[in-house]
Structure 1
């Protein structure tokens, strides 16, 4: 077997050095690999193809293991399956998967009666009486290497289907409308839209968004079915490049809500759903640094808005205002409580559901409109993730909930509002004799360099012993940006490493949202280094505690978590046996300096503005991975995975990074999907093969490939 650490020097792709000068604030950086940004240059494509060929040759000895892991994932998955039906109008809506088919099939079946709130128990491969196939994505994807849906909605009367299709991976969708009575598409077809289109409640109109040159959703449009797209009405346009725009109807169907937001400031506008051509009216005028979102309810016969906001409330508070006069004096209904991060209120006719985070776990509480009391829903496991599922109806007697943990497969409950009973509707089947009792999960705490306690989640297979009692191979995952939390969740693919003795761990580092808003604030802009040092402190804690050793630990992160991977590789390469970086944001300073690139301007609130601030420029330059590759470092093996059509983190970032690492003597591999986007390949079998590829590499680095 070829050793993954001994490359054939003759076959290593070497990118030409063509220095490009970048000068800001008196500092000039000579970038030798910026030319790789020219996506249409045949030499760039040839270089990427050479990288792919080299990576394939270097990992060819893992082909059998990759196939074994793919077979394990496939063998544990009930390939022909159905989702739990969700009620909307006169129909139950659900999805089917069929063995051998890459994509899902969206279906519906009629209700048994208007009072029917118990979803039918469906059986794979058995037809449902009255079943209607709405969209078979396998048919839609025929002839395409990539396929993704960006919108999928049925009109309130059940007569029309709206869906958006991307066949490149660049998140640009062509909207289509299908008459469900005939199965034929209407002439109404709208290209180059963003995700998230919707029908108006009466089904006459489609509300959709388009993007600017930086691919920022900036304009809301109104299309009347049966009319030329050229006649569509512009409802709203946001000229400020720092703000993204979104739009959708309230569950009550009373308003169209147009949301405008950066990462630190938001604003909402309302349009009466009965008069969509009317001028939008603002809820609260934007104030720099103030975030809010609203939802409509009817309380004691009055139209009200519940507004969740952070004005003088770091972890947010909930207030109520009259919908007719949102700027009137608000009534506080759930006061700010430090350490309890309010996330959102979903309103229904008779109650609301408040989502919040406390003690690093996401929680749900039933909200009483009359008393403003919050009745928290409880679950048995110490680590879990719970949230609202699809609940399109305005006045349901039951709530659809989703639940999972590191050891409990994805579970669907219906929560009976009147009694508090949780009715188990489905638990994801895991074939092959999976028993949750064979696995365990725990939370431990590391102490950061400044004394802050950082949570670490662990999951392992019991038969290999309890972590900490004996040293084990360990897979440490991290993210730490955008207040995004890595919550406990089950993974079929992860079983392939747990069953080989690997402990999977998540370092819940600052920059994420696990411990409240301050946790996020302390890991962004001029405190971004806390994200990196927290991860390293977690790694050191796991080594000191006897959980693992540096020679038996692999780190992984993706996107902004890929920035984390690049930073820790430069800072403490000796702490890890290998580093896996998915679509990694490793050339951060170059990207954030260029306002013409997708996402850059809105990202200044997250990272700072190095274009105008010398201090931000210097700070980002001190950590951005590509510019800090060290010639004196003994890097562990590194695998970077990217996609040519990724519009969020451009392929050029990992391509440049790998070239620089290799020049510094590192054993770095680049795998570039030539037809895919930020989420990687499309299709479930393709996705399973992609994860099998990564896990095989990881196991090889940990010395477990031969035993596997």
Structure 2
């Protein structure tokens, strides 16, 4: 047996001094914003070569798993058609196609399909391809769509004349991908990105037939803590511009019939006030946290919007129930609320008593599907659970028994939901908080005796809730006896806005404690073998992984950290790095000493110590726009220097991809198969080939 030595990055001390605290970063040199430095590229290639050599024992399992994962997919998958203006629109895949084909037809039962865009043709010859968004002009003659061919989430907009079947010559570069048409079918609006920070900060109006250089700047965001997004009211009378930071929002509108007018704020931004709107007739419905931690729903005439004191309450705030979304139809108000972590849908007819749409699974996800017309009496919802594939239901709101299943995801390979069991637990954290946990396992392989491997996933940031969804990929874990768990730690919004606030800023340590406490409880309750616990997380969930393995490495046998945000203090001090200043309300501003000191206590990169770490698989993309590649590169380099164990530490850099990994519906499963092969192979859930190579 011969040993392969891992690549050891050169140590080049770089002094970082803030608030009188000096930090020596020996691997700061791995940052190269041009991504062309021969020394940096050589080191990344050396890491990839080491990964390739050390992964050889796992490669046959990865190949089997990849075939298994894609073998469950419906090769002719299609979406449910929806009716807009005078056509039915939907998308469909061909058997071998990685990307969808966008289609429409005038009648639902017609065979006269019109191909709007074959995304496979657009993606041909590109290592990465991402379709951003697409928008049909109100007269249905033009298709505008955006695409990213580098994976930096910087999109180019193209316009296709549907009757002629040809692309117009004009292109719009450097956008965030969003597109909204004015009602004149002549102008469209888009958001331009700053090429350095990658923030969408300018809104432009484009007139067909003119070059992009002639486009009119209609709004520029002066506060770089805000994101911009564009939309259109359901009645199509207003173009909406959303300005959003972590804890503050603002909505500006423009008459869609008056493209040359200016955007006007409905209510000027107030720090800490978040709101969103839906228009019906001359009124607006407002989802707001004004004097309501978990939000309430209000209504006001458009002319009186700016005076909050005349807003009329439609649904009051409830400390135990977070109002998440709402849909305003001509004769109905439909509201989605989350109570004790489970979403509920309530229908409020204008002239009749309200009623709730019920769901049976112990854990599930439900939400609004495509509902493109305000004058509709039909509601579409999507629904799934850990044991129920995604389903599209249509409800006729005029009927007593309105529910009709339109489509359910077709899972190939003999899937039977009766073979699996989902559970929903509440586990006590060390400070007394009750942490929701979703579990799913194969009934025939699960033993409540502490012998099953456990795969625990977590995220816990930005108020983003990881719902109990269906994922056909995890069947490959469940069918090998693994218990799959989602720890809904603080920092998400599973239990309402207070649950989010309890896991951000100076409360961030709660996220890490929750994850560790869930692991310990699942072991104690004999859901898991204490020697066979693996954990995964990506992006901000990668920060969770980094903190957890610093603070409780002995609990985890192996960990996968994808595009991990691990150098939080250095990154948040550098305003030139994308997505920094607009996240101060999430993590804190380390220019403030108190925030600096607190962030330093958990920063995964800064808190690496000389101790044994679990087996580690770390992944990133060279072109990642959210978490720059050099964060995980530095983290891995420092871990190699400090760790005292002989466990595997593998680092895989996709030299073509960005934050979302590989593109294409089949191709993307290579990343999943890699992670599963690594974890299952180490767990011994399936044997892997051995060779004469030893890695660490």
The residue that corresponds to 2:693 in the other structure is: none
SS of the residue corresponding to residue 44 of structure 2 reads helix
The residue that corresponds to 1:677 in the other structure is: 658
SS of the residue corresponding to residue 505 of structure 1 reads strand
The residue that corresponds to 1:117 in the other structure is: none
Q: Which moved more, 1:28-37 or 1:206-215?
A: 206-215
The residue that corresponds to 1:26 in the other structure is: 20
Are the counterparts in 2 of residues 252 and 349 from structure 1 also a CA contact under 8 Å? no
Residue 11 of structure 1: how far off its partner (Å): 3.1
Quick one: which of 631, 640, 646 aligns to 1:653? 631
- Tell me the distance in 2 between the aligned counterparts of 1:89 and 1:58: 56
Structure 1 runs (4+) deviating above 4 angstroms are none
Are the counterparts in 2 of residues 297 and 304 from structure 1 also a CA contact under 8 Å? yes
- Deviation digits for residues 2-38 of structure 1 (CA, Å, limit 9, x no counterpart): 9xxxxx6543111111111111000010000111111
Are the counterparts in 2 of residues 235 and 279 from structure 1 also a CA contact under 8 Å? yes
Equivalent runs, 1:49-68 vs 2, <5 Å = 49-68=45-64
- Tell me the distance in 1 between the aligned counterparts of 2:438 and 2:544: 18
- Tell me the distance in 2 between the aligned counterparts of 1:230 and 1:57: 50
The residue that corresponds to 2:603 in the other structure is: 624
Quick one: which of 377, 381, 400 aligns to 1:397? 377
The residue that corresponds to 2:6 in the other structure is: 12
Residue 228 of structure 1: how far off its partner (Å): 2.5
SS of the residue corresponding to residue 161 of structure 1 reads strand
Are the counterparts in 1 of residues 193 and 202 from structure 2 also a CA contact under 8 Å? yes
Q: Does 1:446 align with 2:435?
A: no
- Tell me the distance in 2 between the aligned counterparts of 1:541 and 1:54: 36
- Tell me the distance in 2 between the aligned counterparts of 1:341 and 1:15: 48
- Tell me the distance in 2 between the aligned counterparts of 1:696 and 1:449: 34
Instruction: Give the root-mean-square deviation of aligned CA atoms.
Output: 1.5
Q: Does 1:109 align with 2:92?
A: no
Are the counterparts in 2 of residues 249 and 255 from structure 1 also a CA contact under 8 Å? yes
The residue that corresponds to 1:586 in the other structure is: 566
Decide whether aligned partners of structure 1 residues 387 and 249 sit closer, same or farther in structure 2, where only a CA change above 3 A counts. same
The residue that corresponds to 2:357 in the other structure is: 377
SS of the residue corresponding to residue 63 of structure 1 reads helix
SS of the residue corresponding to residue 49 of structure 2 reads helix
- Tell me the distance in 2 between the aligned counterparts of 1:370 and 1:218: 43
- Tell me the distance in 2 between the aligned counterparts of 1:369 and 1:278: 34
Instruction: Tell me which of the two structures has the higher relative contact order, counting C-alpha pairs closer than 8 angstroms and 6 or more residues apart.
Output: 2
The residue that corresponds to 1:691 in the other structure is: 672
The residue that corresponds to 1:551 in the other structure is: 531
Residue 158 of structure 1: how far off its partner (Å): 1.7
Q: Does 1:187 align with 2:166?
A: no
Normalising by the residue count of structure 2, what TM-score does the alignment of the two structures yield? 0.95
Are the counterparts in 2 of residues 200 and 249 from structure 1 also a CA contact under 8 Å? no
For structure 2, list consecutive stretches of 5 or more residues without a partner in the other structure.
690-696
Q: Which moved more, 1:334-343 or 1:561-570?
A: 334-343
Residue 422 of structure 1: how far off its partner (Å): 1.3
Residue 425 of structure 1: how far off its partner (Å): 0.8
SS of the residue corresponding to residue 311 of structure 1 reads coil
SS of the residue corresponding to residue 486 of structure 1 reads coil
Equivalent runs, 1:597-636 vs 2, <5 Å = 597-611=577-591, 613-631=592-610, 633-636=611-614
The residue that corresponds to 2:694 in the other structure is: none
Quick one: which of 228, 236, 239 aligns to 2:222? 239
- Tell me the distance in 1 between the aligned counterparts of 2:374 and 2:444: 48
Q: Does 1:153 align with 2:135?
A: yes
The residue that corresponds to 1:270 in the other structure is: 253
- Tell me the distance in 1 between the aligned counterparts of 2:304 and 2:544: 45
Residue 394 of structure 1: how far off its partner (Å): 2.2
- Deviation digits for residues 50-100 of structure 1 (CA, Å, limit 9, x no counterpart): 111111111111111111111111221121222111111221111111122
- Deviation digits for residues 604-635 of structure 1 (CA, Å, limit 9, x no counterpart): 01001101x1111011111000111111x211
Residue 245 of structure 1: how far off its partner (Å): 1.1
- Tell me the distance in 2 between the aligned counterparts of 1:191 and 1:158: 23
Equivalent runs, 1:86-485 vs 2, <5 Å = 86-111=82-107, 129-212=111-194, 213-298=196-281, 303-328=282-307, 329-369=310-350, 374-419=354-399, 420-466=401-447, 468-485=448-465
- Deviation digits for residues 342-399 of structure 1 (CA, Å, limit 9, x no counterpart): 112222222222122111012222233467x653211121211111111112212212
Are the counterparts in 1 of residues 480 and 686 from structure 2 also a CA contact under 8 Å? no
Decide whether aligned partners of structure 1 residues 317 and 471 sit closer, same or farther in structure 2, where only a CA change above 3 A counts. same
Q: Which moved more, 1:341-350 or 1:495-504?
A: 341-350
Q: Does 1:706 align with 2:684?
A: no
The residue that corresponds to 1:35 in the other structure is: 29
SS of the residue corresponding to residue 261 of structure 2 reads coil
The residue that corresponds to 1:535 in the other structure is: 515
The residue that corresponds to 1:116 in the other structure is: none
- Tell me the distance in 1 between the aligned counterparts of 2:4 and 2:420: 45
SS of the residue corresponding to residue 661 of structure 1 reads helix
Decide whether aligned partners of structure 1 residues 514 and 427 sit closer, same or farther in structure 2, where only a CA change above 3 A counts. same
- Deviation digits for residues 651-697 of structure 1 (CA, Å, limit 9, x no counterpart): 11111111111111353211111111111011122111111111100
The count of aligned residue pairs is 680
Decide whether aligned partners of structure 1 residues 492 and 55 sit closer, same or farther in structure 2, where only a CA change above 3 A counts. same
- Deviation digits for residues 583-608 of structure 1 (CA, Å, limit 9, x no counterpart): 11011111111111101000101001
SS of the residue corresponding to residue 304 of structure 2 reads coil
Normalising by the residue count of structure 1, what TM-score does the alignment of the two structures yield? 0.94
Residue 707 of structure 1: how far off its partner (Å): 7.7
